[in-house]
């Protein structure tokens, strides 16, 4: 078995709001192997982004707080580090790209300025060396004429180009792990293909481990080695990509597949999941999916199902759907 770069154990992150405690993450166990891409998929509010922010300890506090659990990065518990040690990890070892490159870049500084800030801070290079490195990074992510473009402001770049700049910035310190939170959600499909292709190439070239967060099953299928499916603050299923797409065990994973229209075939009718995503201030008792599940019984209502491992495949359900073929 490959080494785990990151291991999350029993992670609970809550938000203390005026309306009550939002139980955004209710005990998550997850690991990422060295050099792989792990795709995390789920609908809005399921806790994908909170998981990423918890790893970097960027959960806004207040109202958010990591209540319990361990996040082991190369064996070191990030939750036990001091803030200044954590700063060394961010950017150097783990960096993140966000969904909206428009709001993640500062509009009043040039790209050169913003890239150099990262490089000077983390790598201790002087201004001239840092600039050289900035140009190299822009070249690496495929921005044409990087010597000239480095002097431009963010508004002079298109959406896809801005996302490339963000990726250049995130990779400029050669991190061991890159967290990409919906990196292509705002991009057009042809530009999305360019950016995904680039992330894949860089990952092979630099050996970066990637945590990819998205709601798009197509992007997950094209990019991931392993896939984690989240629902209402729990990891309900985990396995290699082929298993999750062709032999899933959890009713939610199956329902999600059936609800998505495909570009490769025309379905007669889309599958439907009854009900709505629960409010995490008052999450359902027992299995959080039970009110929407077609297979729920009394036990699902009363008790949180115990997660089970079948080889490399993890599932959290009282009534696993064995033998489902998709």
Closest by alpha carbon to 252, among 23, 42, 47, 50?
42
The separation between CA 280 and the C-alpha centre of its own chain, rounded to angstroms, equals 20
Q: Is 222 in the site for other proteins (CB under 8 A)?
A: yes
Q: CB-wise, 60 or 261, nearer to other proteins? A: 261
Q: In the complex, what is the shortest distance from the CB of residue 313 to other proteins, in angstroms, rounded to a whole number?
A: 15
Q: Which of residues 135-164 bind other proteins (CB under 8 A)?
A: 158, 160-161
The secondary structure of 152-179 as a DSSP string is S-GGGS-HHHHHHHHHHHHHTT--SEEE
Q: CB-wise, 175 or 251, nearer to other proteins? A: 251
Q: Are 318 and 305 in contact (CB under 8 A)?
A: yes
Task: Out of 123, 194, 304, 324, name the contact with other proteins by CB under 8 A.
Answer: 194
Q: Are 53 and 211 in contact (CB under 8 A)?
A: no
Quick note: the x/- pattern for other proteins over 28-47, rule CB under 8 A, is ---------------xx---
Which of the ranges 73-81, 95-103, 119-127, 237-245 carries the binding residues for other proteins, by CB under 8 A? 237-245
Q: How many residues bind other proteins (CB under 8 A)?
A: 45
Q: How is residue 220 written in tokens? A: 């997950």
Determine the Cα–Cα distance for residues 238 and 313; give it in Å rounded to an integer.
Answer: 6
Q: In the complex, what is the shortest distance from the CB of residue 45 to other proteins, in angstroms, rounded to a whole number?
A: 9
Q: Is 247 in the site for other proteins (CB under 8 A)?
A: no
Task: Out of 173, 241, 315, 317, name the contact with other proteins by CB under 8 A.
Answer: 241
Q: CB-wise, 34 or 185, nearer to other proteins? A: 185
Q: How is residue 55 written in tokens? A: 């790893």
In sequence order, the 6+-apart residues with CB closer than 8 A to the CB of 153 are: 107, 108, 109, 110, 111
Task: Out of 68, 191, 247, 321, name the contact with other proteins by CB under 8 A.
Answer: 191
Pairing relation of β-strands 209-214 and 177-181?
Answer: parallel
Q: In the complex, what is the shortest distance from the CB of residue 123 to other proteins, in angstroms, rounded to a whole number?
A: 31
Q: Which of residues 260-319 bind other proteins (CB under 8 A)?
A: 260-264, 266-267, 269-273, 276-277
Q: CB-wise, 133 or 250, nearer to other proteins? A: 250
Dihedral sign (CA 302, 41, 261, 326)? negative
Q: CB-wise, 215 or 319, nearer to other proteins? A: 215
Q: What backbone phi and psi angles, to 5 degrees, belong to 228? A: -110, 135
Q: Using omega within 30 degrees of 0 as the cis cutoff, is the peptide bond preceding 150 cis?
A: no
Q: In the complex, what is the shortest distance from the CB of residue 264 to other proteins, in angstroms, rounded to a whole number?
A: 6
Query: Which SS3 state, helix, strand or coil, does residue 83 take?
Result: helix
Task: Out of 196, 229, 249, 280, name the contact with other proteins by CB under 8 A.
Answer: 196
Q: In the complex, what is the shortest distance from the CB of residue 145 to other proteins, in angstroms, rounded to a whole number?
A: 13
Task: Out of 92, 123, 216, 324, name the contact with other proteins by CB under 8 A.
Answer: 216
Q: In the complex, what is the shortest distance from the CB of residue 246 to other proteins, in angstroms, rounded to a whole number?
A: 7
Q: In the complex, what is the shortest distance from the CB of residue 260 to other proteins, in angstroms, rounded to a whole number?
A: 6
Q: CB-wise, 197 or 303, nearer to other proteins? A: 197
Sheet containing strand 177-181, edge to edge, reads 94-97, 177-181, 209-214, 37-41, 226-231, 234-240, 313-315, 308-310
Q: What backbone phi and psi angles, to 5 degrees, belong to 195? A: -70, -40
Query: Which residues sit opposite 97 in a β-bridge?
Result: 180
Q: What backbone phi and psi angles, to 5 degrees, belong to 5? A: -80, -40
Q: Which residues form the interface with other proteins (CB under 8 A)?
A: 43-44, 158, 160-161, 188-194, 196-197, 215-222, 224, 241-242, 245-246, 255-257, 259-264, 266-267, 269-273, 276-277
């Amino acid at each position: 078995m490959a080494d785990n770069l990151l291991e999350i154990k029993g992670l609970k992150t809550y938000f203390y709001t005026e309306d009550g405690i939002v139980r955004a993450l209710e005990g998550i166990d997850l690991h990422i192997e060295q050099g792989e891409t792990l795709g995390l998929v789920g609908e809005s509010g399921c806790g994908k982004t909170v998981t990423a922010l918890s790893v970097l300890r960027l959960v806004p506090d207040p109202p958010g707080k990591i209540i319990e659990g361990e996040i082991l990065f190369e064996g070191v518990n990030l939750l036990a580090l001091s803030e200044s040690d954590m700063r060394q990890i961010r950017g150097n070892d783990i960096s993140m790209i966000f969904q909206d490159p428009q709001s993640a870049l500062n509009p009043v500084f040039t790209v050169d300025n913003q890239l150099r800030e990262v490089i000077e801070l983390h790598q201790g290079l002087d201004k001239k060396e840092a600039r050289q490195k900035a140009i190299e990074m822009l070249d690496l992510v495929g921005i044409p004429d990087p010597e000239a473009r480095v002097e431009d402001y963010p508004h002079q770049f298109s959406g896809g180009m801005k996302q490339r700049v963000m990726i250049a910035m995130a990779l400029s310190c050669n991190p061991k792990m890159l967290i990409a939170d919906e990196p292509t959600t705002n991009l057009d499909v042809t530009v999305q293909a360019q950016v995904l292709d680039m992330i894949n190439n860089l990952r092979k070239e630099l050996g970066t481990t990637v945590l990819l967060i998205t709601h798009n099953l197509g992007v997950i299928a094209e990019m991931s080695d392993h896939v984690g499916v989240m629902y209402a603050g729990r990891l309900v299923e985990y396995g290699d990509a082929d298993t999750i797409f062709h032999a899933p065990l959890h009713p939610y994973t199956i329902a999600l597949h059936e609800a998505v229209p495909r570009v490769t075939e025309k379905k007669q009718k889309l599958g439907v999941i009854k009900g709505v995503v629960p409010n995490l201030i008052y999450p359902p008792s027992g299995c959080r999916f039970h009110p929407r599940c077609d297979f729920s019984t009394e036990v699902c209502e009363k008790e949180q199902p115990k997660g089970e491992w079948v080889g490399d495949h993890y599932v959290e359900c009282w009534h696993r759907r064995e033998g489902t073929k998709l």
